[in-house]
Every structure is written in C-alpha cells, then in structure tokens.
Amino acid sequence: TLKVMGADTLLGRPVEIEADLVVLATAMVPSNNSRELARLVGFSTDKDGFYQEAHPKLRPVETNTAGIFLAGTCQGPKDIPDTVAQAGAAAAKVCALFSRQELASDPTISEINETLCQGCFVCQKVCPYKAIEEKTISVQVGEQIIKRKVAYVNTGLCQGCGACTASCRSGAVDIKGFSNEQVLAELRELIGFH
C-alpha cells in the first residue's frame, strides 16, 4: 500500500492516508479554438468546450455530423485505457465506412425547388448540419439569360430535420416524401375532409 502524507490547512494538522492507487494530474482544458472548430464542422460542445458525442451509450464515438468521429481527450479528461478503447472504436467506424463501395443515406432529406427559391438563404442560417449551400443558376427570361443565386442541399450532410422547410418564406424547400401538399393530403384523409 501507498502512504500519502500532507497537511490539512483548515485544521492545521498533518494528514496521512493509506491508498491503493495515487493519481497525480494537472487540470485539463480544451484547446482555445475547440468551439470554433465545432461550429465550423457542425457538432456540439459541452459547457467546458469539450466535444460532445451523438449519444453517450448508443453512439459514443460519433458526432451528429455524419463521418466525423471522436476519440481521446477532445471529449474531456480520460485515462489511457479509455482513450485506446475509444480510438479503436473510432477506427472501426472509419473502416466500416471505407469498406463499402457506396454509402447509404437516409432518403428523407430536404430538396429545393429552384424556380421558387428567392435566394434569401434563411434556410442556410438555420440548418444545424451546414447542409445548405449557395448555387448560381442561369435562367432564360425572354431573350436574356439571367444568373441568380439559389439554395442547394448537400445530400451527404442533410439529416432531414426540417428546420429549412419551416423557415423558407417562399415555400421552396420540402422534405422528400413529406412535402406540404403530401402532409395536408394525409391530414385531410385522417379527418375525413375532402
């Protein structure tokens, strides 16, 4: 057994403790730019600035942004066995991604009707996954070709949350399979209104 000796400054007397394990460590803080990186890539941090996983039990090395995995002390202080185990899990997730010829994605994602899009990009501001980008299209108006900017959905990043659909003032954004017309038709059927 180990003996830890010190002084209790409040009581003003020496203290002696028998211990099986003594860990000497300094405090740990995240990198200065950790919050900025999380904001840029699209995942969250805790109150201290450490990166947060998608779910602590079900998805402990995954973030809410597809294809980005966490390992080690970027999530908070960890000992070596935990870090090694987490690194192995993250590596296994990456290997599973690279082992496929094609990646399957959720078909329930946003789509933008370019003819209705007014290019206000409110949808881009509210998207938590940074899946909305700007795209320049050419439109023929009579004899003239006009270039204008519209919103474009990066289907690899979109998670189908619907924030863009709710924020679109012109009604140009819909979720595939859940357009406003489809949802209203379903509601009419449910309540028997024809």
Q: How far apart are CA 169 and CA 166, in angstroms?
A: 8
Do residues 28 and 73 touch, judged by C-beta distance below 8 A? yes
Q: How far apart are CA 67 and CA 129, in angstroms?
A: 12
Ranges of residues in the chain with a pLDDT under 70 are 194
Give the bridge partners for 4, in sequence order. 17
How many Cβ atoms sit within 10 Å of the Cβ of residue 78?
16
Residue 23 backbone phi and psi in degrees, to 5: -115, 120
| 131 alpha-carbon distance from chain centroid | 11
Question: What is the reported pLDDT for 148?
Answer: 92
Q: Which residue has the tokens 């082992």?
A: 99
Q: How far apart are CA 135 and CA 118, in angstroms?
A: 12
Q: Which CATH number fits domain 110-191: 3.30.70.20, 3.40.50.300, 3.40.250.10, 3.40.50.1820?
A: 3.30.70.20
What type of residue sits at position 154? N
Domain(s) labelled CATH 3.30.70.20 in the chain stretch across 110-191
Burial of 71 (0-12, 13-18, 19+ CB in 10 A): buried
What type of residue sits at position 49? G
Question: What is the reported pLDDT for 172?
Answer: 92
Question: What is the reported pLDDT for 194?
Answer: 65
Predicted structure pTM score:
0.56
